[in-house]
Chains A and B, each alone.
Chain A
Amino acid sequence: MTPQLAEKPKSVPFASAFDQRPHGGPRWLEDLRARGAARFAALGLPTVREEEWRFTNVAPIGASEFTLAEPVSGVADQLAGFAYSDAPVRLVVVNGRYDSTLSRTRGLPQGVRVGSLAQAMTDHADVVQRYFGQLADFTHRSFAALNTAFVQDGAYVYLPDNVILDTPIHVVFVTGAEAARVMAHPRTLVVASAGSQCRIVESYIGAEGQTYFTNGVSEVFVAENAIVDHYKVQQESLDAFHVASLHAHTARSATFSSHSFALGGKLVRNDALAILDGEGGECTLNGLYLADRERLIDNHTAIDHAKPHCPSHEVYKGILGGTARAVFNGKIIVRQDAQKTDAKQTNRALLLTDGATINTKPQLEIFADDVKCTHGAAIGQLDDDAIFYLRARGLTYADARDMMIHAFAAEILDRVKIEPLRQALEAELFEQLARDLAEVDGART
């Protein structure tokens, strides 16, 4: 979809923040920021007239005049109460800036680099410069352009050839400020060299009640025969705006899997984009999202099969209550070259209330002839017959319903290979559901 330049707003949002844009770092970075800023000035924020944003109106983000935050101290207590907060290795990024005092990076194998992205831009310049920004194209993506205009810091993970990391790397993005409406534009760069393996968890958190805007961009490069298992756990404040894109690139026989858990946020847009760019690569994009009240969660995914013999698997599931809205758009591209592609996509949503809605669309662009592509969507309420069956065996209505919702979520939760994270997510999910359902039950009686 080409942007219609003629229709762009005259005034660029975040004008005052633009005056505080970060400077410094290597020359290429300065150039990149300048290009990002110029592109954002041309694009502005997307509007619902654009196909990619038809159901998600981001005008409230532009209207909020978010400012750039100073990194804040005193977020340490926030770092306790969220999923997997006891991870042994963690990188903490506060309002877009890496915080070494809150981070724990010891005990990793030789040659592995984890820590501040800003630091890596000077310390590990050759690698960073080779990969940074290569996937997160901002020509047509205004939030990526905005992020690029403000690029400064974030998390960096580098694995040399054949290193197998047993310990997951947990990256925690904390955003927000007590007295101000702030925004952050964190970046993540993961480079997994040939034959390496790792698990990365990105958590996005903020203090409950705070209104802020996180605009993240993550890039993950999976080299030949490497395996990256990626988890995104979005637990922002329920008043926060969260826009983020995850870009992954797989080389020959590389495996990338992503598991996205969207639990928080008032207005949320996730883009997950994978390019299968080497023969025999494999990609999984899974997601589970939960929205209640008037919240909006928009998931856009794209899997680009550029080379032959790549399977891809995608399952997105949503649980919606209140008058929450969800959007799911799953694009699968199969390039002319990509024979023997096997792409599967499933999208399901459970609507717990009559007021909840979802707009869903598969989007297949297939240019090869010898391929298998399947997609299916199922949207519905809990099955009354099943609920009655469970009740007829003695389970209360609430227990029967919980069991059904558990079953619905389990398909995604069970694929979390980090057991403490899986347990924490399950607990978090059901704690939040209990809150949503209390509202539903209130409405029932």
Chain B
Amino acid sequence: MLEIKNLQVTAEDKEILRGIDLSVNKGEVHAIMGPNGSGKSTLARALSGHPEYQVTGGQVLFEGRDLLDMDPDERAREGVFMAFQYPVEIAGVNNAYFLKAALNAKRKHQGLPELDAMEFMSLVNDKAKLLEIDKSMLSRAVNEGFSGGEKKRNEIFQMALLEPTLAILDETDSGLDIDALKLVANGVNAMRSPERAFIVVTHYQRLLNYIVPDFVHVLSGGRIVKSGGKELALELEQKGYGWIEAA
């Protein structure tokens, strides 16, 4: 589904990713861990097409197509979703209105009929229940005045609505209490399917108790320095990153 080959990325002329190779198949969950500043968010943002990040080398194929050639919105409509590490507050833009527009943009792209207000609301009600999204969050402005936990849940809620084929979660667990963490994990697990893949960026092995990954990769200094199975996360939790970086 996703083939990343020797991806090199800079921001403000600073080299951040120095050759990432990663292959993600349908149905898989890949966890990406690594110290602060190692380039995890940069990878997520580069995959979603953030304009501040320049790809200076390498290739990314998404379902056989050149992902890097697509605008960010086209990537989203094609089924790539990134849950932001820091979701943006957008004053005045109503959350439900925005979500309906986003969902219909995608449906239109897929050649599906757009949902009317009624159909949209019933879909929203289903998904909101799962993530315990309060109805009032929908009538507020996008992320505005949301608590940290509400913002993260809202990201997963959007993912549930948009049903991406590839979801990249950038530290969606950071700052969540255990109840919110379980909600988020349940939301993700409910969406796991043989047709869908996840890249989960996290600092904490705890999340991976709930969202059990197929692979764990360690990113350091802009490169993947180690890959393994879910045991690797446990090992990292105990030993930190030093032993890998030293190796």
Listed in ascending order, the chain A residues whose CB lies under 8 Å from chain B are 383-386, 388-397, 399-400, 403-404, 406-408, 410-411
Contacts and interface: CB of A to CB of B under 8 A. Distances in A.
A408 B90 CA distance: 10
Given A389-B88, A404-B90, A384 B51 contact: yes
A407 B143 CA distance: 14
A411 B71 CA distance: 31
A394 B105 contact: yes
A82 to B, nearest CB: 27
B109 to A, nearest CB: 7
A127 to B, nearest CB: 43
A386 B90 contact: yes
Contact of A411 (B72, B88, B92): B92
A391 B92 contact: no
Given A388-B72, A395-B73, A403 B162 contact: no
B152 interface: no
A384 B90 CA distance: 11
A407 B98 CA distance: 11
A395 B98 CA distance: 9
B92 A396 contact: no
Interface residues of B, number: 31
A394 B73 contact: yes
A390 B90 contact: yes
Contacts of A403: 93, 98, 101
Which secondary structure characterizes the binding site on chain A?
helix
A399 B105 contact: yes
B90 A393 contact: no
Contact of A391 (B72, B87, B158): B72
Interface stretch (B11-19, B76-84, B122-130): B76-84
A389 B90 contact: yes
Contact of B162 (A384, A386, A393, A410): A393
B51 A388 contact: yes
A63 B241 CA distance: 76
Contacts of B82: 392
A383 B142 CA distance: 14
Nearest to A403: B93
A313 B71 CA distance: 42
A397 B49 CA distance: 13
Contacts, number: 78
B135 interface: no
A63 B137 CA distance: 57
Most chain B CB within 10 A, of A394, A410, A411, is at A394
Given A403-B98, A404-B90, A407-B92, A396 B84 contact: no
Contacts of B121: none
Nearest to A400: B73
B20 to A, nearest CB: 20
B205 interface: no
A388 B142 CA distance: 13
A410 B158 CA distance: 24
B105 A389 contact: no
7 contacts: A388-B51, A389-B84, A391-B71, A391-B76, A392-B50, A394-B76, A394-B105
A14 to B, nearest CB: 44
A395 B49 CA distance: 13
Nearest to A384: B51
A407 B93 contact: yes
Interface in B55-92: 71-73, 76-77, 81-82, 84, 87-92
B48 interface: yes
A395 B73 CA distance: 6
A399 B88 CA distance: 17
Nearest to A385: B88
A429 to B, nearest CB: 15
B92 A408 contact: yes
Contacts of A406: 92-93
A394 B77 CA distance: 5
Contacts of B101: 395, 399, 403
Contacts of A394: 73, 76-77, 102-103, 105-106, 109, 162
A396 B90 contact: no
A407 B105 contact: no
A301 B34 CA distance: 56
Contacts of A389: 84, 87-88, 90, 142
Contacts of B73: 391-392, 394-397, 400
Interface string B138-177: 0001100000000000000010001000000000000000
B109 A397 contact: no
A386 B88 contact: yes
Contacts of B72: 388, 391-392
A355 B65 CA distance: 39
A389 B155 CA distance: 11
Contacts of A384: 51
A392 B93 contact: no
A292 to B, nearest CB: 22
Given A392-B49, A392-B50, A399-B105, 14 more contacts: A383-B90, A386-B88, A386-B89, A388-B88, A389-B88, A389-B90, A390-B98, A391-B49, A392-B48, A392-B76, A392-B82, A404-B93, A407-B91, A407-B92
Nearest to B142: A389
Contact of A393 (B51, B92, B98, B141): B98
B161 to A, nearest CB: 9
A170 B50 CA distance: 49
